[in-house]
Amino acid sequence: MVKKLVFLAVILMGFAAPRPASAGCTTDLLDCYGRAGRIDSFWYRTAAGLDCELDYTECVRRRVLGR
Amino acid sequence: MTRRGGVARAVAIVLWGLLVFECRQVRENELAARRLFGPAIGHEVIAGRADDEAGRTWLLAGERTLISIDLARAGVSRHPLQVGDASCWGLARLRDGTLWTLKGRSTVIGIADSGEVVREIPLGAPHFGVFASDDRLIVQPADFQPPAPLLFAARVDDARRVAWGDLRSRSFPLARASVAALNMLTCGVGRHGEHPCWFPDEAAVSLMNSDGRVRKVALEGLEVVPPEVLLTADNPARPVRDAYVDDTGTIWVLSSGRPLAGAEDQPGGWILARYSDGGVRLGVQRLKESARLILRAGSGRAVLLTGGGMVAEVVP
């Protein structure tokens, strides 16, 4: 009985926790870094990496600043 | 009764007690809104907000649509921005009444009430946001190396930009892009000489005067999540979703909180909190319907833009 109640409490707490992003900004950033990393030229690769970071901040901006 | 059965019964009683206490507490603090008119907006992200002297609130919705809400006339108008496929962020209104937004990453544009672009000013580098103080445009450059001045001021006809105000970017033991994201600033409306601005991870507002000097006010009683959770959760809890300083200096705050059981899934926050000018908590109440913006506040009441897009009034 005690075990069942503790299990139930743990499940209920799980529902209250924030859900992780399934395919959100962070996943997009990692994919973008992967594509940038395959560019041969150092300068173009660096610029592409910076672009990835700007894309990421725009994505996060919508989510955590948008009202 | 066995000893095991007794423990189980005691645990069950404690859990039941907690449930009853929680339910009663929520019911006592629930705040219902009286609908005034609408809907004024759909589920588009609100990317900017500016108020004018005529009492209208201008919103940048969905990054490409200008919406004006006239509370006195209970009217709403929508105008698409003439920016093609570009996205815009932020809405700033200068003393002369002109409206400005950030188009893409590197251009500030002046826009007419009709959504027409009337002026373009290239910034020469990526930026995160645009604000206004009197006759100055205040911009936030995309800075990945804190600590550094956060805001820069420029006049429309002068290309020079100078560091403005006290706010500086903050350091975190996180990746560069995450640090940049956590340093992005949002500002609300101030009717008492100071504008409330806030970072997405903090339960605090920086009250900024017209010279950019700030005093930070901590807001106790609001839920805060760790920065890593804020950046990776689908629908992260944000301590401050909107803030409004009324003409007596009372700070009204909309916070994410948690929806009531069975409430409709709508964007916005579920907690309306009030603090004194110095940060003393005056009241924290849970809304029956989520809210996205504080359109007006004062004299003990607030007009909100609800999660369903309606304009509604609450009396805490």
pLDDT mean over B230-240:
90
pLDDT mean over B87-110:
96
Residue pair B126/B166 in contact by the 8 Å Cβ criterion = no
With beta carbons under 8 A apart, name residues in chain B contacting A19: 233-235
H helices present in chain B, as ranges: 3-29, 176-182, 227-232
Q: Which of B12, B184, B238 sits opposite A57 (nearest CB)?
A: B184
Partner-chain contact A20 B142, CB within 8 Å: no
With beta carbons under 8 A apart, name residues in chain A contacting B235: 18-19
User: Which pLDDT score is estimated for B158?
Assistant: 84
pLDDT mean over B255-267:
86
ipTM of this predicted complex? 0.84
Report which of residues B259 and B115 the model is more confident about: B115
Pick among A3, A8, A67 to test the B interface (most B CBs inside 10 A)? A67
User: Which pLDDT score is estimated for A60?
Assistant: 94
Q: How many angstroms away from the CA of B306 is the closest CA of chain A?
A: 11
What does the mean pLDDT of chain B come to? 91
With beta carbons under 8 A apart, name residues in chain A contacting B292: 67
Asked which of B130-139, B147-156, B258-267 is least confident by mean pLDDT, the reply is: B258-267
Q: Is A11 exposed, middle or buried (0-12, 13-18, 19+ CB in 10 A)?
A: exposed
pLDDT of residue A19 exceeding 60: no
Q: Which of B8, B45, B105 sits opposite A62 (nearest CB)?
A: B45
Please state, for a pLDDT cut of 70, what percent of chain B lies above it.
91
Tell me how many residue pairs between chain A and chain B have CB atoms under 8 A apart.
89
State how far the Cα of B156 lies from the Cα of B85, in Å rounded to an integer. Answer: 25
Asked if A22 is an interface residue toward chain B (Cβ–Cβ < 8 A), one would say: yes
Residue B96 DSSP label: T
Please state, for a pLDDT cut of 90, what percent of chain B lies above it.
82
Specify whether the backbone of B307 is left (phi greater than 0), alpha (psi in -120 to 50) or beta: alpha
What does the mean pLDDT of chain A come to? 77
User: Which pLDDT score is estimated for A23?
Assistant: 47
Going by C-alpha positions, the residue among B217, B81, B312, A55 that lies closest to residue A47 is A55
Asked if A1 is an interface residue toward chain B (Cβ–Cβ < 8 A), one would say: yes
User: In the structure encoding, which two tokens stand for residue B65, read together?
Assistant: 């649509």
